[in-house]
């Protein structure tokens, strides 16, 4: 079976949850099938033509905030239909899924799958027109694809309520972690093992880094003994959000205990995850956050905003704080750092949960079964209740 992955920026994943999802899912599927991953030239170097068994197909785009994804999706879709003649086109994200009607019309024998990763139109970075297009992409994902995959039960319920669409729940996943990860990278950022809190994310407003920076500074003032030995590592870079990144640096000021590492990948990223005291994810809106799952796989306790997508994964309410509340975040960070036994227990439980419920091998097996399902690719039909 020849499978085209379309919508992601590329692989290997430098940043971005969808990119990590495609990298891990594609690698598993490539053990049995031919997997083509369409990549944007600005993200994946042209010299990278194969990765973990996947073939990387480079196609051009217009690298601007609003045109990058849709232009690349259109070019990739036409290439997959007419030149690569794939059996399956798998769109990742509701934005790219806006064009999922094209293969249904031009290549009716091609199976079309869409993964609904996140309700992107809620994100603050988009203007009204982009939000309208993303809303149309949601509808296209639910109506045009032969099967729609939801990465969280929250999204599954949303698709049913909003579009009367039955989706298939198949979450994000994590790879098994080698427990023998060193800490050499930490020296580069003046960090010490077990002596920093971290947030690992793209620096866009809805991810909530500003809440965490404010809370960390306030917590240090209110509980100086508790936070005396701890730093805050903000790991990630902007995504057409230079003004917001500048704002975060101004918000941090001259505080030497707040460290910005920029985008990290590979061994450096592994070490930043594995050696943290706790991961904090203050996001206002998510699909199913891979960064939280990744921290869990390393056995790291994770404090999250109390949005439904987080509560699906982190079930202990002692590790929730009120969404967008700096004061509540201060209270929860302080209480947890003052209870090391609870932190250790939570870390162990997180690791067990990640390995049991979010293994990429299981997720890939379910995805393959979706590709091979009996839905009739010859008939253009809409999925409704």
147 forms beta bridges with: 113
DSSP 332-343: HHHHHHT-HHHH
Q: How confident is the model at residue 380 (pLDDT cuts 50, 70, 90)?
A: very low
Min mean pLDDT across 89-98, 103-112, 128-137, 260-269 is at: 128-137
For the 2-173+360-371 domain, the top CATH level (class) is alpha beta
pTM of the entire structure?
Answer: 0.87
Specify the pLDDT at position 91: 98
SS (H, E, C) 250-319: HHHCCCCCEEEEECCCHHHHHHHHHCCCEEEECCCCCCCCHHHHHHHHCCCCEEEECCHHHHHHCCCHHH
Q: Tell which phi-psi region holds residue 208, choosing left (phi > 0), alpha (psi between -120 and 50) or beta.
A: left
Alpha helices in the chain (DSSP H): 17-29, 68-82, 94-97, 101-106, 128-143, 153-163, 209-222, 224-227, 242-252, 266-274, 290-297, 308-313, 326-337, 340-357, 360-371
Q: Among 3.40.50.720, 3.20.20.140, 3.40.50.150, 3.40.50.2000, what is the CATH number of 184-357? A: 3.40.50.2000
Rounded to whole angstroms, the Cα distance separating 331 from 334 reads: 5
Handedness of CA 374, 378, 384, 385 (dihedral sign): negative
Which one has a higher pLDDT value, 178 or 206?
206
Q: Please compute the mean of the pLDDT values over residues 77-96 and round it to a whole number.
A: 97
- Boundaries of every domain in the chain: 2-173+360-371, 184-357
Specify the pLDDT at position 378: 36
320 forms beta bridges with: 304
- Are the CB atoms for 146 and 111 separated by under 8 Å? yes
- Are the CB atoms for 23 and 12 separated by under 8 Å? yes
Specify the pLDDT at position 122: 65
Specify the pLDDT at position 126: 67
Per-residue pLDDT tens for 198-242?
A: 999 999 999 999 999 999 999 999 999 999 999 999 999 998 899
Specify the pLDDT at position 383: 47
């Amino acid at each position: 079976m020849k499978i085209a992955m379309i919508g992601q920026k590329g692989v290997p994943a430098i940043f971005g949850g969808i990119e990590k999802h495609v990298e891990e899912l594609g690698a598993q599927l490539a053990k049995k099938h031919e997997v083509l991953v369409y990549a944007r030239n600005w993200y994946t170097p042209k010299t990278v033509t194969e990765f973990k068994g996947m073939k990387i197909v480079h196609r051009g785009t217009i690298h601007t905030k609003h045109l990058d994804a849709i232009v690349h999706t259109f070019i990739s879709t036409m290439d997959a239909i007419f030149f690569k003649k794939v059996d399956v086109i798998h769109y990742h994200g509701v934005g790219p899924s806006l064009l999922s009607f094209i293969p249904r019309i031009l290549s009716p024998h091609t199976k079309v799958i869409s993964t609904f990763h996140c309700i992107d139109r809620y994100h603050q970075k988009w203007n009204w027109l982009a939000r309208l297009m993303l809303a149309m992409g949601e509808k296209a994902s639910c109506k045009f694809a032969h099967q729609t995959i939801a990465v969280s039960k929250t999204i599954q319920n949303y698709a049913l309520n909003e579009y009367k669409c039955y989706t298939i729940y198949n979450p994000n996943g994590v790879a098994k972690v080698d427990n023998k990860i060193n800490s050499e990278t930490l020296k580069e950022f003046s960090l010490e093992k077990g002596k920093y809190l971290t947030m690992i994310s793209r620096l866009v407003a809805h991810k909530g880094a500003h809440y965490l920076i404010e809370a960390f500074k306030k917590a240090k003032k209110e509980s100086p003994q508790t936070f005396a030995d701890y730093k805050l590592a903000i790991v990630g870079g902007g995504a057409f959000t230079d003004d917001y990144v500048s704002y975060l640096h101004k918000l941090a000021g001259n505080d030497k205990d707040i460290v910005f590492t920029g985008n990290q990948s590979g061994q450096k990223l592994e070490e930043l995850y594995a050696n943290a005291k706790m991961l904090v994810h203050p996001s206002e809106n998510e699909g199913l956050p891979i960064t939280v799952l990744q921290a869990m796989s390393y056995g790291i306790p994770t404090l999250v905003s109390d949005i439904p997508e987080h509560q699906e994964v982190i079930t202990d309410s002692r590790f929730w704080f009120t969404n967008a509340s700096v004061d509540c975040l201060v209270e929860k960070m302080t209480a947890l750092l003052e209870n090391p036994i609870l932190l250790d227990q939570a870390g162990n439980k997180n690791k067990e949960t990640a390995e049991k419920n979010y293994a990429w091998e299981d997720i890939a097996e379910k995805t393959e079964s979706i590709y091979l399902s009996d839905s009739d690719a010859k008939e253009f039909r809409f999925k409704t209740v």
